[in-house]
Amino acid sequence: MKTKVLIFSFLVLVLISGVLQVFAAGDKSEGLVFYYDYSEINNGKVADQSGNSYDGEIEGNITIVEDPEHGKVAKFESGSYLKLEPEKVKKDGNIPTNAFSVLAWVNVENNGAHHAIFNARSADNTWLTHPEIRVGEATYRWLLRAAAGNKIFDMKAGSPKPGKWVHYAGTYDRKKKPGAILFIDGKPVGEAAGDLPVSADWDQGARVGFNIDNKRPFTGMMDEVSVWEYGFSQEEIQEIIEKGLDGFLAVNPVEKLATTWATVKSSR
């Protein structure tokens, strides 16, 4: 009996130690607004994997195809996009302001166009963000604006690779320096200063793959697109590239606690 008590006590100590380590590392989903992994389409929508239920409604022709490198991905025909419900995001208080990041795997067509990954527009016609692959200009773009159209930064850097998979990560944190960084395939290609909060007004809409004024259509394939109120480090971006977003988000403190405690109880 004493042996069992000692073993159980030891397992409890292991549990406490492990959970403290997990909580110290933090919940990696903190700040995640939406995440589409394009694993399937249900009732004309792509499910949001963030837990916020901001499913993307398909407009136009978006299909799920099998890619030899990435498995199931989305294929966007020109003029197609995912429509979000900005009023729901706003009601939940999840529109990013103090930090803002857009991450996605992209493989665009070589058509000389500007390919918009994500776009949102305010009631006063301010374009809040432009994460783009500008094939014709042979550059990537990463832009954010504050309220009343005040530009926080407008970055153009890097060299697109049409027809090839590239990981795009535009990240911003107004409380950190340099403020904004654009990572392509995990490497910084540009940075800019900035300390203004991003406008919280998405009243004219928010889309993945097409600007609100029906310009700059994303044409090609896309995978693992996500928007965050969080500014990523290079190490975190590289971890996401290596593990995928699902792998990066795999350890959740609450789930870890429940799983570990269940293991301890079963050993009693």
pLDDT by residue (tens digit) across 55-95? 999 999 999 999 999 999 999 999 999 999 999 999 999 99
Using pLDDT thresholds of 50, 70 and 90, give the confidence band for residue 26: low
**Confidence (pTM):** 0.86
Q: Mean of the pLDDT values across residues 88-117?
A: 98
pLDDT by residue (tens digit) across 120-145? 999 999 999 999 999 999 999 999 99
The CATH number given to 28-248 is: 2.60.120.200
- Asked if residues 117 and 131 have their Cβ atoms less than 8 Å apart, the reply is yes
**What is the spatial distance between Cα 125 and Cα 184, in angstroms, rounded to a whole number?**
29
**What is the spatial distance between Cα 267 and Cα 9, in angstroms, rounded to a whole number?**
11
* 222: alpha, beta or left? (left if phi > 0; alpha if psi -120 to 50): beta
In this prediction, residue 27 carries a pLDDT of: 85
Q: How many CB atoms lie within 10 A of CB 100?
A: 27
Judging by beta carbons within 10 Å of its beta carbon (0-12, 13-18, 19+), is residue 89 exposed, middle or buried?
buried
User: What percentage of the chain has pLDDT greater than the value 90?
Assistant: 83
- What does the mean pLDDT of the chain come to? 89
pLDDT by residue (tens digit) across 139-198? 999 999 999 999 999 999 999 999 999 999 999 999 999 999 999 999 999 999 999 999
Task: For the chain, give every domain's residue range.
Answer: 2-23+256-266, 28-248
Name the token pair of 209: 């793959």
Q: Mean of the pLDDT values across residues 11-32?
A: 59
Higher pLDDT among residues 104 and 15, named by residue: 104
Handedness of CA 201, 206, 208, 209 (dihedral sign): negative
Q: Does the pLDDT value for residue 255 go beyond 70?
A: no
- Residue 167, strand partner residues: 105
State the DSSP string of the chain. Answer: -HHHHHHHHHHHHHHHHHHHHHHHH--TTTTEEEEE--S-EETTEEPPTTSS--PEEEES-EEEEEETTTEEEEEEPTT-EEEP-HHHHHHTT-S--SEEEEEEEEEE-SSS-EEESEEEE-TT--B-B--EEETTTTEEEEEEE-GGG-EEEEEEES---TTS-EEEEEEEETTSSS-EEEEETTEEEEEE---SPPP---TTEEEESS-TTS-S---EEEEEEEEESSPPPHHHHHHHHHHHHHHHT---HHHHHHHHHHHHHHT-
Using pLDDT thresholds of 50, 70 and 90, give the confidence band for residue 262: very low
In this prediction, residue 264 carries a pLDDT of: 38
In this prediction, residue 63 carries a pLDDT of: 99
User: What percentage of the chain has pLDDT greater than the value 70?
Assistant: 84
Name the token pair of 266: 């079963």
Q: Does the pLDDT value for residue 265 go beyond 70?
A: no
**What is the spatial distance between Cα 33 and Cα 54, in angstroms, rounded to a whole number?**
8
Name the token pair of 55: 């499913």
Contacts of 155 (CB under 8 A, 6+ apart): 141, 142, 143, 170, 180, 182, 190, 191, 192
In this prediction, residue 266 carries a pLDDT of: 43
